[in-house]
Amino acid sequence: MGLSTLSKLFVSVCLISGSYAYTLPMDDILAYAKEDTIFKEHTLSITRNYVNPDGIFKSGLRINGQSPGPCIQGDENDWVRVTVNNNSPVAITIHFHGILQRGTPWADGVSGVTQNPIFPGESYIYEFQVKDQYGFTWYHAHHRGYSTDGVYGPMNFVPSPKRERPYHLITNDTSDIETLLELEKDPIPLIGDDSFKWDMDSIISRMFDYGVDPLCIQSILINGKGRKVCHDPEVFERLRNKNGTSQNVRNGEFDSWGCMKMENGYTNATNFSGLEIPGYYETCDSTFTEQFEHHSNTDWYYFNLLNAGGQFTKAFSIDGHQLWVVAIDGIFVNPQIGHQIILPVGSRVTIVVKAKRGIFPMRFAAALTPQFIEGVGYLVNHMENGTRNDTLPTIFQDLDGRLISENYTSIWPKNTAPFDESARYNLGTRPADHTFNLHLNRTGMITFSLFPDGELLPHNFEHDKPLLYNFSQQSYGKWALRDNIKTGDIVDIIINNSNAMGHPIHLHGHLFYLLSHDNSNAFIHNSVEDAVQHGYTAFNDNPPLFDITYIPPRGHSVIRFVADNPGIWLIHCHNLGHLLGGMGAVIFEDEESLNQLMKSRTIS
């Protein structure tokens, strides 16, 4: 079967909405690569290096000598082969975040779930199709904390010509639309990342040996570059005294890094300054490393924004510019314009911006967090001939990530809606076949749970035999979400947050619809159907479709997906410390089809 035959069998999201008792033909599920498949090839070589992204040296990991790694580019429906050569001294895996891996669940790159880690000196080949998918995704290590040591990079797939674009809702100028279609082929990634003082093995050792949640960071990097910036204590005092902030500040004390002291203390710590526990950093010396700059002579920018950090939600803005959101997690949305974009950890937001001439700071500030910190890069447009623009651009956001004026607007992924008719979902189709209830709770200093009784994903899950190769007839803990899900079933997950801490929850193997979301109230019903019967009306009419939902303290999300992808899929908090501290579960999807799929597997 050649590629053209294969393409006829692809099941798109559009078939799912509105159709009822429908099952996928097995051929679709088994639509993996054949002998004549043409792959786009990429090689990623991982090394351990001594790096100083923000002016202070530490041990880090690099991909082909760089971080972020090279962009994996291509077109919708491409087949991709990624060869990973692990030349570093630690075991790793690579997860392709946002790629659904339909028909290739073994290529999802999660140690302990879909594969063994790739050991030092070994190579591993991932093969998958970007089936009916386009836009911005990314790859990152999915073993221990190595993503934050630098193992991540952008991926972009140009939408097929058949797909409708939303650009005409931004401009009526046909030459502008042509420009955007051209820029869409090679967007500029802008990746914000949290950089700790030490490498992640040290951070994780400090976490498990001393009960220290790896909370506060040293710098925020943009495309791998940043600075450590120290502020006067008055700056932190001013931010603390802003209306609405004080509820987040336990006792109002900050250390030299803008990191707040937490009320509960750190149970087992004997030397707070020696362990550099958050809230107790004593010294701060600024560094003056090179910052990220984008030089251009253009009228529009087309950016792919990503929060790759393992720690903090980010507020992004470009001084002096309003931003048009055109896609979230690689799905075109009805465009919205605003001054600021909020990016939960792992989220991707594609924006287009009408460029001005001058030099403009681009800011990624930590938002909704116990630390005041930002990373800054620069847009430099039409400045190569010594042109000057002496007007200072307007700054929209503060160091705490909050807007400076009530006249400015902020856009959250959760408040967007798919542009394409085929990506919309009508809640009224039929009741869910399965409803899982999750309950976010920090049950100890470094234990984080998804379940009401505090059950944790086993601490050592990454080193166990991968579940994908050992799922039949075994009994597992509550963390195994196993309810005889069949292909075609509708699956709902109700997620309440009982915590004082927000969590970005990511599901593998699916995009999901955000049916209901609230910033401060729990979802008190047992199912969506139950809620409808009790007159609950706060469902989203045209729910966003994405793969991460940020759930604020005491709030909730109700998410839905249609089972169309037999596999063993992790659902977890994308904050790395929280995942390692237990905040994860695994969905077992259509085990019968999965068995067939595993037996007929012929590729990597």
Contact positions toward ligand NAG, by CB under 6 A? 169-172, 211, 243-244, 267-268, 271, 273-274, 297, 320, 356-358, 382, 384-385, 389, 391, 393, 405-407, 437, 439, 441, 443, 445-446, 452, 454, 465, 470, 474, 476, 494, 496, 498, 522-524
To the nearest whole angstrom, how small is the minimum distance from the Cβ of residue 267 to ligand NAG?
6
Between 460 and 537, whose beta carbon lies closer to ligand NAG?
460
Q: DSSP letter string over 485-540? A: E-TT-EEEEEEEE-SSS-EEEEESS--EEEEEEESS----SSSHHHHHHTT-----
Beta carbons of 553 and 501 less than 8 angstroms apart = yes
Between 244 and 428, whose beta carbon lies closer to ligand NAG?
244
Paired sense of beta strands 152-158 and 72-75, if any? parallel
Paired sense of beta strands 503-507 and 314-318, if any? unpaired
To the nearest whole angstrom, how small is the minimum distance from the Cβ of residue 586 to ligand NAG?
11
To the nearest whole angstrom, how small is the minimum distance from the Cβ of residue 402 to ligand NAG?
11
Decide: helix, strand or coil at residue 436. strand
To the nearest whole angstrom, how small is the minimum distance from the Cβ of residue 333 to ligand NAG?
15
To the nearest whole angstrom, how small is the minimum distance from the Cβ of residue 593 to ligand NAG?
20
Between 358 and 375, whose beta carbon lies closer to ligand NAG?
358
Q: DSSP letter string over 14-50? A: HHHTT--S----HHHHT----TTPPEEEEEEEEEEEE
Between 167 and 196, whose beta carbon lies closer to ligand NAG?
167
To the nearest whole angstrom, how small is the minimum distance from the Cβ of residue 327 to ligand NAG?
17
Q: DSSP letter string over 391-430? A: SPPPP-B-TTS-BSSTTS-EE-GGG--BSSGGG---TTS-
Neighbours of 431 (CB within 10 A): 12
To the nearest whole angstrom, how small is the minimum distance from the Cβ of residue 496 to ligand NAG?
3
Going across the sheet that includes 548-551, the strands are: 480-485, 584-589, 567-573, 503-507, 548-551
To the nearest whole angstrom, how small is the minimum distance from the Cβ of residue 320 to ligand NAG?
3
To the nearest whole angstrom, how small is the minimum distance from the Cβ of residue 271 to ligand NAG?
4
In sign, the C-alpha dihedral spanning 401, 405, 406, 411 is: negative
To the nearest whole angstrom, how small is the minimum distance from the Cβ of residue 293 to ligand NAG?
17
Decide: helix, strand or coil at residue 338. strand
Q: What is the dihedral of CA 517, 523, 526, 528, to 10 degrees?
A: -30
To the nearest whole angstrom, how small is the minimum distance from the Cβ of residue 211 to ligand NAG?
3
To the nearest whole angstrom, how small is the minimum distance from the Cβ of residue 442 to ligand NAG?
7
Beta carbons of 92 and 151 less than 8 angstroms apart = yes
To the nearest whole angstrom, how small is the minimum distance from the Cβ of residue 562 to ligand NAG?
20
Between 385 and 602, whose beta carbon lies closer to ligand NAG?
385
To the nearest whole angstrom, how small is the minimum distance from the Cβ of residue 365 to ligand NAG?
19
Rounded to 5 degrees, φ, ψ at 518 are: -145, 140
To which H or E segment does residue 327 belong? Answer: strand 323-328
Structure tokens at 166: 């939303």
Paired sense of beta strands 79-86 and 39-51, if any? parallel
In sign, the C-alpha dihedral spanning 558, 559, 562, 567 is: negative
Between 21 and 392, whose beta carbon lies closer to ligand NAG?
392
Q: Which of 398, 379, 53 is nearest to 194 (CA)?
A: 53
Angle at 324 between CA 181 and CA 243, to 5 degrees: 165
Between 474 and 537, whose beta carbon lies closer to ligand NAG?
474
Between 403 and 417, whose beta carbon lies closer to ligand NAG?
403
Between 88 and 557, whose beta carbon lies closer to ligand NAG?
557
Q: Report whether the peptide linkage leading into residue 504 is cis, meaning its omega lies within 30 degrees of zero.
A: no
To which H or E segment does residue 359 belong? Answer: strand 358-366
Beta carbons of 527 and 432 less than 8 angstroms apart = yes
d(CA 17, CA 487): 14
Beta pairing partners, 324:
337, 352
Q: Across 110-239, where does the E strand assignment appear?
A: 123-129, 135-141, 152-158, 188-195, 219-222
Closest residue to ligand NAG in the complex (CB): 274
d(CA 372, CA 231): 10
As to burial, measured by CB atoms within 10 angstroms (0-12 exposed, 13-18 middle, 19+ buried), residue 604 is middle
Between 250 and 525, whose beta carbon lies closer to ligand NAG?
525
To the nearest whole angstrom, how small is the minimum distance from the Cβ of residue 389 to ligand NAG?
4
